Structure 1
């Protein structure tokens, strides 16, 4: 029997949805420079938008890698998630490991956010009172990553419950 959209479960679609949300977040403001004073805020506003606000694609590895990884994992879940052999071989566990790696990379990216600027730039920002903050896209991306960790846990628990129910039906016969 071939592949069919109808046979893909909601849990697999949720994985792809989290990956698509994470991918969309990479085009939103990912890193934003903000100032402590009104004068500095006006000076930042006078700069080119790309100098003050960066998307994930103009940030660092830890910005664009987790969303791409989630999208790939979601695509694999949709492509192979309807196969009972793939699911029995550990596809949901692979999904969980991939999502956990994405979460680790996203947390590292958040904690190392300042390293996307050079030492001289960071020192200049520190002296001037300019701070490097996560933008809206980084928050949306983190939400997608957290959802991508929760979905495979639900999937594993649901698959375990389905196996137990099937085993219980076999014993009653």
Structure 2
């Protein structure tokens, strides 16, 4: 059987799109440094942009693996989801688990945001009044994870409802 875009449901396309958006967000600022004092903020502006706003590739495994997992799950669902045996065999549930793991990894990464820096650097930043905050990429990646997780839940539920209808007749 050949690939046919007509056989891909809107939920599966949504999962692939969410994975693409999540991976694109990896290249946006993932972590930002910001100061409350004006003189420190001006000093931050003089630093190279990569030191003040970091993308996910430079921050660590918890930051980049979740979005990459979303993309891989989206690709698998679109390509393999056309086969009825794969769909009945648990592909929607696998997508659901992959999306949930990806979202959890991104949430854990958010809680560990200050651990991107060494303890000495963290204390130096805190003494200077510099805070470590999530960037736009982190928000966009987590939103894409939520969209993929929602689509995966809806897809798993639709498969369950279809299976229940067939069992009744």
TM-score, normalised with respect to structure 1 = 0.94
> What is the DSSP-based 3-state SS (H/G/I as helix, E as strand, rest coil) of the residue aligned with 1:34?
strand
Cα deviations by residue, 1:61-115 (Å, 9 ceiling, x for unpaired): 1111101010000000011111110010000000011111101110110000111
How far 1:41 sits from its partner (Å)?
0.6
For 1:88, the equivalent position in structure 2 comes to: 88
How far 1:129 sits from its partner (Å)?
0.6
2:93 paired with 1:100? no
Larger of the two Rg values belongs to structure: 1
How far 1:156 sits from its partner (Å)?
1.1
2:41 paired with 1:22? no
Q: Distance in 2 between matches of 1:166 and 1:90?
A: 17
> What is the DSSP-based 3-state SS (H/G/I as helix, E as strand, rest coil) of the residue aligned with 2:74?
helix
For 1:51, the equivalent position in structure 2 comes to: 51
Cα deviations by residue, 1:104-155 (Å, 9 ceiling, x for unpaired): 1101100001111111110100111100000011000010111111111100
Is the 1:96–1:152 contact (alpha carbons within 8 Å) kept by the matching residues of 2?
A: yes
Mark the runs of 5 or more structure 1 residues left unpaired by the alignment.
none
> What is the DSSP-based 3-state SS (H/G/I as helix, E as strand, rest coil) of the residue aligned with 1:122?
helix
Q: Distance in 1 between matches of 2:94 and 2:163?
A: 19
For 2:67, the equivalent position in structure 1 comes to: 67
How far 1:17 sits from its partner (Å)?
0.6
For 2:38, the equivalent position in structure 1 comes to: 38
Aligned length: 169
TM-score, normalised with respect to structure 2 = 0.96
Mark the runs of 5 or more structure 2 residues left unpaired by the alignment.
none
> What is the DSSP-based 3-state SS (H/G/I as helix, E as strand, rest coil) of the residue aligned with 1:131?
strand
Is the 1:9–1:82 contact (alpha carbons within 8 Å) kept by the matching residues of 2?
A: no
Q: Superposition RMSD on alpha carbons, in Å? A: 1.1
Q: Distance in 2 between matches of 1:60 and 1:163?
A: 41
How far 1:58 sits from its partner (Å)?
1.3
Cα deviations by residue, 1:7-40 (Å, 9 ceiling, x for unpaired): 1111111110110010111111100000011111
